[in-house]
Structure 1
């Protein structure tokens, strides 16, 4: 369990090395400045940015095979979590950040350019109108209730798609509320940054109406 900012930094070093730490330090500084102009994240969370946002995002890599070549789809990226962190830690992996809000899109484009994240693709539109393509990984943090999320993103999934969906304290309940055909595809893993939070993890193609 990550209990401090120091623990979180160590986790990032293990996941991506010192170069990743440097890029995330730049991201942290930029996020603090931008947060004065638009409410990207809660102000209180900025004091624990390494644990609450960086390590919380990085832990999703534990549930995705290292040999995965992408693309990784991050839905409703908002401030860029987990998508920007994944792009920093896996520079060889195409990471598609889907976000529909104009100011968030401007932020994502700007910071991806500043951090030289050439593997980061910003889809500045609603998910419903994003061109259908095969996703190796689908993530979403605070995007939509699980059943709606799966319905909206089902067309991007294949039999080999990995799902990593941070859902906080509602994770187990949201899985239990899925139709039986979907319920058996997913399970809940405990978050290493919050003892009370869960991550919905699964693999496979989601069929609408299952």
Structure 2
């Protein structure tokens, strides 16, 4: 198992608290099985803490304290959904994933770590009009304009979409403005978390869903 680097331990302890051991067990599972099961690339094993676990755990700082239900769309290897569930045991976390082999992995992780997750095998669009959540997260799923079409309808009125993005975040927000407005997405913000703590801070685009605008957007759509 890739050890937690000493330089990152204070950040890991801050984010995971008493559940750091669970995060370490998740890293062990990813290191042991992730490559052979096609969940992560071989080069990612040695940087699981820096580029994946802490990168995802920092997303919890973008989650409003009032949030109780959260869906992670396109969970894949469990990044960020499983990590968020470890760091925030107060949340009811639903992992939405389309591929059977990945949902199987997520169910195995849930059983091994006893996280109380809900794993749903479905495309996000299949849940439109059926489920809503206080917050919806996504990491490396699609450009924001396409991602918002899939995810904003899952966000409860007054809730938020939290999308982890890279250096193109500002350009994606600009390109998605029309789609966001149509879907009731308002006040997009870009915030970096972990500056000075990790080599590559976590960039999160947050988009609120406004109730009245959503209804108008749905009517036009």
Specify if TM > 0.5: yes
Alignment of 1:91-102 (within 5 A): 91-102=89-100
- Partner of 1:140, secondary structure, is strand
Aligned to 1:37: 36
Residues 38 and 50 of structure 1: CA distance in aligned 2, closer, same or farther (over 3 Å): same
Task: Please give the root-mean-square deviation of Cα atoms over the aligned residues, in Å.
Answer: 2.3
CA contact (8 A) 2:143 2:172 kept: yes
Aligned to 2:6: 6
Alignment of 1:141-180 (within 5 A): 141-180=139-178
Are 1:114 and 2:119 an aligned pair?
A: no
2:202 & 2:54 partners in 1: Cα distance? 14
CA contact (8 A) 1:9 1:50 kept: no
Aligned to 2:88: 90
Residues 133 and 184 of structure 1: CA distance in aligned 2, closer, same or farther (over 3 Å): closer
1:33 & 1:61 partners in 2: Cα distance? 26
Stretches of structure 2 that go unaligned for 5 or more consecutive residues are: none
Stretches of structure 1 that go unaligned for 5 or more consecutive residues are: none
Aligned to 1:185: 187
Residues 80 and 196 of structure 1: CA distance in aligned 2, closer, same or farther (over 3 Å): closer
- Partner of 2:157, secondary structure, is coil
Aligned to 1:55: 54
- Partner of 1:53, secondary structure, is helix
Residues 199 and 159 of structure 1: CA distance in aligned 2, closer, same or farther (over 3 Å): same
TM-score, normalised relative to structure 2: 0.83
Larger CA Rg, structure 1 vs 2: 2
CA contact (8 A) 2:152 2:161 kept: no
1:161 & 1:188 partners in 2: Cα distance? 16
2:102 & 2:111 partners in 1: Cα distance? 14
2:118 & 2:125 partners in 1: Cα distance? 17
- Partner of 2:55, secondary structure, is helix
- Partner of 1:185, secondary structure, is strand
2:47 & 2:109 partners in 1: Cα distance? 20
1:41 & 1:191 partners in 2: Cα distance? 23
Aligned to 2:102: 104
Q: How many residues in Structure 1 have an aligned counterpart in Structure 2? A: 204
Aligned to 2:205: 200
Residues 197 and 116 of structure 1: CA distance in aligned 2, closer, same or farther (over 3 Å): closer
- Partner of 1:149, secondary structure, is helix
